[in-house]
Amino acid sequence: MIYLDNGATTKPYKEVVDAYVTVASTYFGNPSSLHSLGMQAEGLITESRNRIADLLGVKASEIIFTSGGTEGNNIAIKGVAHAKKKRGKHLITTQVEHASVEEAFSRLEQDGFEVTYLPVDQFGRVSVEQIEAEIRPETTLISIIHVNNEIGTVQPIEEIGEMLENYPQIYFHVDHVQGISKVDLNIRKSRIDLLTCSAHKFHGMKGSGFLFVREGIQVQSLFQGGVQESGLRAGTEHVAGIVAMAKALRMVKANKQKQRELTQLKNTFVTKIQAIEGVMINSPDKFVAPHIVNFSIPGTKPEVIVQSLSAKGIYVSTKSACSSKLSEPSRVLTALGLDLDRASSGIRVSFSFDTTLEEINQVIDELKIIIPELLEVVYT
């Protein structure tokens, strides 16, 4: 098996699974219970919160545990918008956000908020000047994805944060789901107020994530029913998932050298895939993460290539996993200004720290067979 759909989910590390099983089977008490088993579970949550905070350089009290990226993004965006609506109802984001962000803002528009969706340049980036030009007295929140989940573009988060030092009344939310462990980001230096992460993107278990909420930030809870997670996220915590997530984050943070190796593997893949007739690279050649390559074969249906590779034990994807079953063209590729044919035929290959050069060469060899066969059918 060659797994190159790590942008959708990563394989949990064995040590992470072992930690999950141990906690789930031994420390299964409800962390809100007052008996010793519950207190043991609560202690594991506290320890995990401290470890994650230390790894990120923030306070433990600023880490809120969630079920993943979608929930974290919704809490941050909707929670801030409603908490600050008396001061203003104008929000700013981009045209290339993850579906959980785009749809959260869409819902807020239905609730009477005004949203500015910033266009991007040929690299899929927004500029600091663009953002500042759209700021109004009634602007309360700016939400920008760090690493684009379809094409890998890295947004200028630190520069945006520096500019926002002049606008302390505006909260800055960053979707860091695709960036964590692959592209470094200093939360404090970037003046980030809220930041979303999901465990299954960095070899943790699905169903766990966390939201950084800077001390003093006002967020209205979307959940009622308990006082867990500082009253921001009611519901019994997923103790085993939280412990496993802390373990996974510690392991990936130790892989600094692997980031450079990943860049080399990606560059090799891009060079070789470009040499195949009919292939067009959609990911930019700069301002890009080391683990995502998006390319199109105009005239073909991407799902045919996905299934052809799957039959060979090779796994890639089309768009974001959250949108891959939708038939319309990629919203992100369309925002880049690509034509309908190219935006409809995008394929995403995403690597992990476990990806090897041998695997990349095998995938290229298979594509050298599959793509000409498909194009021959299209043009005959």
Q: Which of 366, 369, 353, 360 is nearest to 310 (CA)?
A: 366
Radius of gyration of the chain (CA): 21
Q: Which of 151, 154, 152, 158 is nearest to 172 (CA)?
A: 158
Going by their DSSP bridges, the two strands 292-296 and 280-281 should be labelled as: antiparallel
> Is residue 197 annotated as part of the catalytic site, yes or no?
no
Indicate the residue type of 72. G
Contacts of 43 (CB under 8 A, 6+ apart): none
Q: Encoding tokens for residue 87?
A: 């001061």
Which residue in the list 322, 334, 368, 374 is annotated as catalytic? 322
Contacts of 32 (CB under 8 A, 6+ apart): 38, 42, 226, 228, 236
Question: Distance (Å, rounded) from C-alpha 252 to C-alpha 353?
Answer: 9
Question: Distance (Å, rounded) from C-alpha 201 to C-alpha 5?
Answer: 11
DSSP assigned state of 12: P
Q: What angle do CA 249, 253, 257 make, to 5 degrees?
A: 145
Bridge partners of 196?
Answer: 175, 211
CA dihedral 359, 363, 365, 371 (to 10 degrees): 180
Q: Encoding tokens for residue 211?
A: 């939201």
Q: Where are the alpha helices (DSSP H) in the chain?
A: 14-26, 36-56, 69-83, 99-110, 128-134, 157-164, 239-253, 256-274, 302-310, 331-335, 340-344, 357-378
Residue labelled with tokens 């169903």: 207
Residues annotated as part of the active site:
322
